[in-house]
Amino acid sequence: MKNAIDILIDKIKETNNPTVMGLDPRYEILPECIKSKYGKDIKSVCEGILEYNKALIDATFDIIPAVKPQIAFYEMFGTEGIKCFRETCKHAKEKGMLVIADIKRGDIGTTAAGYSNAYLGKTLIGEKEESLYDIDFATVNPYLGIDGVKPFIEDCKKYNKGIFVLVKTSNKSSGELQDLKLEDGKTIYEKVAELVNSWGEELVGEYGYSSVSAVVGATYPIQLKELREIMPKSYFLIPGYGAQGGKAEDIALGFKNELGGIVNASRSLMCAYKSDKWKDIYKDEEYAKATREEALRMRDELNSSIKGR
Amino acid sequence: MKNAIDILIDKIKETNNPTVMGLDPRYEILPECIKSKYGKDIKSVCEGILEYNKALIDATFDIIPAVKPQIAFYEMFGTEGIKCFRETCKHAKEKGMLVIADIKRGDIGTTAAGYSNAYLGKTLIGEKEESLYDIDFATVNPYLGIDGVKPFIEDCKKYNKGIFVLVKTSNKSSGELQDLKLEDGKTIYEKVAELVNSWGEELVGEYGYSSVSAVVGATYPIQLKELREIMPKSYFLIPGYGAQGGKAEDIALGFKNELGGIVNASRSLMCAYKSDKWKDIYKDEEYAKATREEALRMRDELNSSIKGR
């Protein structure tokens, strides 16, 4: 049977596109045509966001393999936001996209199990187990060691899911802790990479990649290249392209034989309609068309760097 | 003006009790008298949990200074769970307790701001900012460096709140990453302790402790003692007492002049009615009385170790 990472790789090959669309909605970025249609109370705002997310999914599901909703932007709206998160995941799955839930959870064993059951597995409601969400992958924080990761790995095995563990993050201060050198000369992120390698051993699929893989930022190309060597079986979830400054030629360093990574773009895809590139071509109400156009441009740019290697 | 940590210390002094009651509910731990009253669907289960939480708060608010709901156990129940989390926080505050939300979030800047706004600050709904929850403190993960912590610190300043940053966690595998030695001979947790010290400098209150403080597990007494020296201005949130194995005499090592820490107990307080200590004395429907009794026992045990130093 194909495991979660095999299914993601198949989808990347089918669409010929190593992109995941980050769905990080905020009221401020909604097009006027949506803002004017809905009220400004929390329920209406979340309905507007759901319409926006769905329109972006409908405009790209045949050319982008996966979406990555960042749950913070839904938790910001309390229960209405969580409902919107769930409906967004469901809609993407119905359209055939895979869903990577960017939750970055990490906690002690029983608590990590609670998170894992909620987002990847099944949770005990009364006397029976139920799935709350339709999600394929989740992101996980490694600071607590294997205790915080193992419950997720168990659910990956049981429900054919996957995780991406934070190794080297894309933000400016990621080095403050992650780049510190250990007494054996290795950095912390290299050590975490080794841990993730060992955690993922049992879940290597047909393509030679593991469903327990890693987050490695596009903004650190040297580390991306280095980690590609250290983690040959890890498929990289690569944030930091576009707005954060990561370039296609940098990202290519995380790939090998045209595989190895999936690149996140959030603002540059969601807000394409407001960008210098597309704002004179597409009107406010054509926001989804602008996103599709930008997705095609990004796909071609990434492929030309990755396949040109 | 007193800052968040001053207010917590005042409350600890007033109740003469350095305990925080962890509210980590699961269906399995509910007393039969609650289980039999509610249905088994998700909404009913959450109503049962809320009744349970409220009863535990009502039975202890005069003797315990704070509660610590672990949000995983509410996220497990989706939107209904989040509603229950919010109502639990609200009820505790109405009873005069402080609320520490155990969320352990950590992310890049804009995302961390989303989390911080949601739990500590205010979030933009339509065109105005609103508070979603009534929470005093949140726990934060340091793996992303200052970027992931700064938005929380900003909200601490703006709204007089506090955070506890994970330094040395209570779980078995916490050493897998946190205990690794850096090239200068320090461990990672010592380095994180230094970072937390510097992050907290601006928020030191009247008692000499900072509203940006640390999580240090009771299960590692040597480290607890060491960190008390390294972090003289940090008030420790100490998990791991009771079910996880941390003892009162170990915990005392994190204190100085009878101050310095607040000790979490979740299962041992919530499930006191089922424990060997109290199950023959209190009936199922007297579960809240058993919790109060155990809270008094724990208070006295902690104080005798802390004040005996």
pLDDT at residue A234 greater than cutoff 70: yes
Residue A220, φ and ψ in degrees, nearest 5: -125, 75
Q: Quote the CA–CA distance of B228 and B55 in Å, as a whole number.
A: 35
B93 occurs within a structural domain: yes
| pLDDT at site B165 | 98
A188 in contact with B, Cβ within 8 Å? yes
Q: Inter-chain contact B117–A145, Cβ cutoff 8 Å?
A: no
From the candidates B70, B84, B85, B110, which should be mutated to test the interface with A, based on the most A CB atoms within 10 A? B110
Q: Residue B207: left if φ>0, alpha if ψ -120 to 50, beta else—which one? A: alpha
Q: Inter-chain contact B143–A177, Cβ cutoff 8 Å?
A: yes
Q: Where residue B236 sits, what CATH number does that domain have?
A: 3.20.20.70
Burial A29-47 (b: 16+ CB within 10 A, else e): bbbebbbeebeeebeebbb
Q: Quote the CA–CA distance of A266 and A305 in Å, as a whole number.
A: 20
A29 in contact with B, Cβ within 8 Å? no
B280 in contact with A, Cβ within 8 Å? no
A79 in contact with B, Cβ within 8 Å? yes
A308 occurs within a structural domain: no
- B161 to each of B65, B135, B157, how far by Cα in Å? 16, 8, 7
Cross-chain CB nearest to A106 (options B83, B104, B185): B104
Q: What is the DSSP letter of B179?
A: T
Give per-residue pLDDT as tens, B1-18. Answer: 899 999 999 999 999 999
Q: Which of B23, B15, B105 is nearest to B61 (CA)?
A: B15
Work out the minimum CA distance from A91 to partner chain B, whole angstroms: 17
Are A215 and A178 in contact by the 8 Å Cβ rule? The answer is no
B187 occurs within a structural domain: yes
* pLDDT interval class at A237 (50, 70, 90): very high
Both tokens of residue B239?
Answer: 């998990």
Q: How far apart are the first and last CA of chain B?
A: 31
Work out the minimum CA distance from B14 to partner chain A, whole angstroms: 31
Residue window 156-175, chain B: list those with CB within 8 Å of chain A: 166, 169-175
| % of chain A at pLDDT higher than 70 | 100
Cross-chain CB nearest to B143 (options A41, A133, A166): A166
| pLDDT at site B243 | 79
Q: Inter-chain contact B114–A44, Cβ cutoff 8 Å?
A: no
Q: Quote the CA–CA distance of B194 and B227 in Å, as a whole number.
A: 10
Both tokens of residue A182?
Answer: 């250990």
A56 occurs within a structural domain: yes
pLDDT at residue A279 greater than cutoff 70: yes
The domain tally of chain A equals 1
From the candidates B34, B44, B79, B271, which should be mutated to test the interface with A, based on the most A CB atoms within 10 A? B79
Q: Quote the CA–CA distance of B269 and B289 in Å, as a whole number.
A: 10
How many residues would you count in chain A? 309
Q: Inter-chain contact A72–B172, Cβ cutoff 8 Å?
A: no
Work out the minimum CA distance from B65 to partner chain A, whole angstroms: 23
Domain region containing A281: 4-300
Cross-chain CB nearest to B180 (options A110, A174, A182): A182
Active site residue A93: no
Q: Quote the CA–CA distance of B48 and B285 in Å, as a whole number.
A: 13
Contacts B145 to A, Cβ<8 Å: 171, 173-178
Burial of A179 (0-12, 13-18, 19+ CB in 10 A): middle
Q: Inter-chain contact B182–A178, Cβ cutoff 8 Å?
A: no
Give per-residue pLDDT as tens, A180-202. Answer: 999 999 999 999 999 999 999 99
A307 occurs within a structural domain: no
| pLDDT at site B309 | 67
Q: pLDDT truncated to tens, each residue of chain B (309 aa)?
A: 899 999 999 999 999 999 999 999 999 999 999 999 999 999 999 999 999 999 999 999 999 999 999 999 999 999 999 999 999 999 999 999 999 999 999 999 999 999 999 999 999 999 899 999 999 999 999 999 999 999 999 999 999 999 999 999 999 999 999 999 999 999 999 999 999 999 999 999 999 999 999 999 999 999 999 999 999 999 999 999 987 889 999 999 999 999 999 999 999 999 999 999 999 999 999 999 999 999 999 999 999 999 876
DSSP string, chain A: ---HHHHHHHHHHHHT--EEEEE---GGGS-HHHHTTS-SSHHHHHHHHHHHHHHHHHHHTTT--EEEEBTHHHHTTHHHHHHHHHHHHHHHHHTT-EEEEEEEE---HHHHHHHHHHHTS-EEETTEEE-----SEEEE--TT-HHHHHHHHHHHHHHT-EEEEEEE-SSGGGHHHHTPBBTTS-BHHHHHHHHHHHHHGGGB-TTS-EEEEEEE-TT-HHHHHHHHHH-TTEEEEE--BGGG-B-HHHHGGG-BTTBSEEEEESHHHHTGGGSTTTTTTS-GGGHHHHHHHHHHHHHHHHHHHHHT-
| pLDDT at site B304 | 96
A306 occurs within a structural domain: no
Cross-chain CB nearest to A123 (options B76, B79, B144): B76
Q: Which amino acid is at B107?
A: D
Work out the minimum CA distance from B308 to partner chain A, whole angstroms: 31
DSSP string, B112-160: HHHHHHHHTS-EEETTEEE-----SEEEE--TT-HHHHHHHHHHHHHHT
Work out the minimum CA distance from A206 to partner chain B, whole angstroms: 30
B194 in contact with A, Cβ within 8 Å? no
Counting one residue from chain A and one from chain B, the pairs whose CB atoms sit within 8 A come to 221
A157 occurs within a structural domain: yes
B309 occurs within a structural domain: no
The mean pLDDT value of chain A amounts to 97
Work out the minimum CA distance from A43 to partner chain B, whole angstroms: 9
* pLDDT interval class at A309 (50, 70, 90): low
Spot the catalytic one: A104, A122, A247, A289: A104
Sorted by sequence, the CB contacts under 8 Å of residue B198 that are 6+ apart come out as none
Distance of CA A121 to the CA centre of its chain: 18
Distance of CA B87 to the CA centre of its chain: 17
pLDDT at residue A119 greater than cutoff 70: yes
Both tokens of residue A175?
Answer: 């080095």
Of all residues in chain A, the one with the smallest CA distance to B105 is A105
